Amino acid sequence: MRALYPYKPVYNYPGSSQILAGELAQRMLSQVREIGIQIIEGEPVLDITRLEDGLFHLALEQRRLAARSVILACGMGLFEHRRLGVPGETQLADHMLFYTLSDLALWKDKEVAVIGGGNSAVDNALLLVEQGARVTVVHRLPEFQADAGSAARLRERCSRVLLGWNAVSFSSREPAAHEAVMVIEHSQTGERLSLFVHRILVNIGIRPNSELIEKIPLSRENRLVKVGTEMQTSIPGIFACGDVVSYPGKTRLIVTALGEAATAVNSVARHLRTEEEKMVLIFFPPRRLGAELVRSFTEAGYRTFLFVLPGEKAGHSTKNLLTVKVTMPLARFWNNLDPALKEMIGRSRAVVNFIGGDFSALKVSGQGEEWNIDGTASAQIRFSFLELVLGNFSPKGKALWFNLAIGRHKRNEAGGLFCNTKYGLTGLEKAFELTPKLHNFEVINICLTYFTSMHCEHCVTEELAASGQPLTGEADIPRFLLQRVEALGEKPRPNT
């Protein structure tokens, strides 16, 4: 509205009997800025793609952005004003010849030629007459295409109306370079006239550039994007509103576009909440069990983020899977992560954390509830990473954290088996208890050594079985974890 017709009056906006389009647009922008939303202007989006990390990558002229969801509110695309394509037009453009009105004061009391016969040309000509300009309207057809009422008012107020004339050339009048010479020719007789004016306004239409929309593989209808009642396009995570969309009963008004925008925003919020519920993080699993967990979660539709150590094979690429190699130093690794990806990690509600054989190397004192981590040793990178991730978590709603450890079982003097893993995991569990923003997490500890040695009655896995959640072998773990994670998304049943 600001760029194409800033001075066009809007009559059908609630709460205002008449408001200029540019003023209305400026009020909307000011309201958005007041709540702290960043606006990037003058830099069009060139392409939108979705990469294997699940994020949408937006290519701009000078930067790239990443987002978890996108709303297309781009109207019919970028617009270009139609040019006449006659000699002298390019030379006078932007200093004597213009395609839109900007500062009205520059047109006040001037000799002006307006070229065009549609609504924009007629409305702008009337506006310039009100500013005291002496306006000549030139139109190539014998009749106006504008609204009949506007055309009638123009005939009454305009200095001169020339129908059936074409502009054939422009030049600046010497020595008075502030005055332009516009040569016009009658379409039937071939007669030519020269008009001497200070400023020229060309309003012969606009040419939409929908190149961006055409690049995105969306379902479309007559070049418009098809959406459902929630403004969802055919690509999950991309929503649309305004003139760019098509649906049965669509009405093209500013007020309906704003209603569609509100629907799209709320749909994005629901989409992101669902996305958080359908997302799992897996930290440093052994290859076989890790592969089974990845297969189990991805086939169930969960976006699975697999974090592996340097030198480990990433495994086979599959739908819904993103593999991230964690490198040293960790601070640099974390700082270089895409901000949108870090936000997704921090909001995850299901984490499977594997503690490898070096868990047994932790220095355990007393009952094992105190342990030390050497954050500089690459062998203990998983523990340093764990500490880093815990400091950035802020999940909404109930969340699950699974600790799967390869620990130690040894016999006591009486010959009974004793699980050292239990005490190390208990110490880790205390980190959640002592951190307020981690209180949403339910921590479930599983000792993998339990399945390969004599079943120890003191083992955390044995305790899990005693609570009614039996695990008879390692093969049961993927199913067990998936069931627990799926229960996060279940709504509580009403009491009957």
* Cα angle: 83, vertex 88, 91; to 5 degrees: 90
Q: Is the dihedral of CA 154, 156, 162, 167 positive or negative?
A: negative
The answer to whether 279 and 351 have CB atoms below 8 angstroms apart is no
pLDDT tens sequence across 21-36: 888 988 999 999 999 8
Q: What tens digit of pLDDT does each residue of 247-292 get?
A: 999 988 889 999 999 999 999 988 887 776 788 999 988 888 889 9
Convert the pLDDT of each residue in 206-249 to its tens digit: 887 778 888 999 999 988 999 999 999 999 899 999 999 999 99
Q: What is the pLDDT of residues 377-436, one digit of tens each?
A: 545 677 778 778 877 887 777 889 998 887 667 777 777 776 767 766 766 777 777 777
pLDDT at position 433 is 77
Model pTM score: 0.60
Report the pLDDT value the prediction gives residue 268, as an integer from 0 to 100.
94
Chain center to CA of 274: 16
Q: What is the pLDDT of residue 377?
A: 52
Using left for φ > 0, alpha for ψ between -120 and 50, and beta otherwise, residue 271 falls in alpha
The whole-number pLDDT of residue 177 equals 64
Instruction: Note the pLDDT of residue 330.
Output: 82
The CATH class, in words, for 40-78+207-274 is: alpha beta
Give the pairing type, strands 45-50 and 220-221. unpaired
Q: Where are the domains of the chain?
A: 40-78+207-274, 83-204, 280-489
| pLDDT level of residue 78 (50, 70, 90 thresholds) | low
The 10 Å Cβ neighbour count of residue 415 is: 6
Confidence category of residue 5, pLDDT binned at 50, 70, 90: confident
Question: Does the pLDDT value for residue 176 go beyond 60?
Answer: no
What CATH architecture applies to the domain 280-489?
3-Layer(aba) Sandwich (3.40)
Q: Which of residues 48 and 418 earns the better pLDDT score?
A: 48
Give, for 393, the enclosing helix (H) or strand (E). none
Question: Which of 1-10, 128-137, 359-368 has the largest mean confidence?
Answer: 128-137
Greater pLDDT, 432 or 48? 48
Matching fold, domains 40-78+207-274 and 280-489: no
pLDDT value for 494: 45
Cis peptide before 175 (omega within 30 of 0): yes
- 163 - beta bridge partners? 139
Q: Is the pLDDT of residue 316 over 70?
A: no
- Give the C-alpha separation, 48 to 216, whole Å: 7
Segment 83-102 mean pLDDT: 91
pLDDT for residue 244: 92
- Residue 276 pLDDT: 67
Report the distance separating Cα 80 and Cα 68, nearest Å: 30
Assigned superfamily of 83-204 = FAD/NAD(P)-binding domain (3.50.50.60)
Give residue-wise pLDDT tens across range 457-478. 777 787 787 777 778 888 899 9
Q: What is the pLDDT of residue 371?
A: 43
| pLDDT score recorded for residue 185 | 96
